Amino acid sequence: MFSKTLKDSLDIIEVASRYLPDLKSAGRTYKSNCPFHEERTPSFVIFPETQSWRCFGACVEGGDVISFVMKIEKIDFQQAIKLLADSVGIEVPRYNNDNVNVELYNINESAYNFFHNFLLSENGLAARNYMINNRGVDHDTIMKFGLGLSPSDNRQLPRYLENLGFSNKQISESGLVFIREDGIPKDIFAGRIVFPIIDSKGKVLGFGGRTLNDNGPKYINSSKTKIFDKSSSLYGINLAKEGIADSGKVVLVEGYMDVLTAHQYGYDNVVACMGTA
């Protein structure tokens, strides 16, 4: 996934300091007056360990280095990708897909960043503890697979995507939301651990979600879209393709957790079939 490759090449402190002259170290974080609203006491915090930012003042929002540049430059996702890639001398890959497909890939990458950053934030502490202590998934595996968490407020993701410049039509066709009778989109993954489904080229096709309680179905997936059909998708193929090539074998397991556990213990040729139901 290009956005992850790009972020791995960036330091959010270095990028943010170009815009925040008063940015100062404060223990394990950095603080500054928020550039998005007027204030006297610094409420804008950057977390180097997770490469994320959050305003604890009037904005009450946060994100990663890409969303920061989008917001401060007032540009869309693709423009931010191009600006940041140019700053570190990385060429942005060109896709041969039509415009609709490109929009779907962009909205999925944005959702990936949203879910992943939320899991790594203070709001995701209980979910991280659940995955580590109850499910045996360690921090390295969480990071390797880009696991995420969707807020229990099912309007947060749609609002985030709207703020990034995606239209209601694009959001509605993303497979990430359901539409109420009043036309307001709601996040279908609200309150769930989120598993990004990434193809062998690193592009985010869709997501799976697991409930943290007994409310509703245990697992759900993104709705079928022009780029995602779970009957033809393999979970973990992006991380297993080299192991499959090296061993000449592929091990097919039942679900997300089986893949995570296998890779955590060194079995890197394991994928899961998404099923047809």
Closest CA to 211 of 190, 230, 228: 190
| Average of per-residue pLDDT across 92-99 | 62
| Predicted local distance difference test score (pLDDT) of residue 76 | 78
Predicted TM-score (pTM) of this structure: 0.72
Q: How far apart are CA 49 and CA 72, in angstroms?
A: 22
* Domains of the chain as residue ranges with CATH: 1-94 (3.90.580.10), 97-228 (3.90.980.10)
Residue 183, pLDDT score? 82
Local confidence band at 77 (pLDDT 50, 70, 90 cut-offs): confident
What does the pLDDT read at residue 151?
A: 95
Nearest partner of 93 among 210, 201, 189, 247, judged by Cα: 201
Query: 261: closest CA among 272, 273, 274?
Result: 272
pLDDT in the model for residue 96? 53
Q: Which of 28-32, 49-53, 100-104 has the lowest mean pLDDT?
A: 100-104
Distance (Å, whole) CA 9 – CA 2? 11
For residue 130, how many other CB atoms are within 10 A of its CB?
16
Tell me the per-residue pLDDT of 33-46, one tens digit each, with 9 for 90 and over.
Answer: 999 999 989 999 99
For the chain, the three-class secondary structure string (H helix, E strand, C coil) is CHHHHHHHCCCHHHHHHCCCCCCEEECCEEEECCCCCCCCCCCEEEECCCCEEEECCCCCEEEEHHHHHHHHHCCCHHHHHHHHHHHCCCCCCCCCCCHHHHHHHHHHHHHHHHHHHHHHCHHHHHHHHHHHHHCCCCHHHHHHHCCEECCCCCCHHHHHHHHCCCCHHHHHCCCCEEECCCCCEEECCCCEEEEEEECCCCCEEEEEEEECCCCCCCEEECCCCCCCCHHHCEECHHHHHHHHHHHCCCEEECCHHHHHHHHHCCCCCEEEECCCC
**Residue 126 neighbours by CB under 8 Å, 6+ apart:** none
Asked if the model's pLDDT at residue 22 lies above 70, the reply is: yes
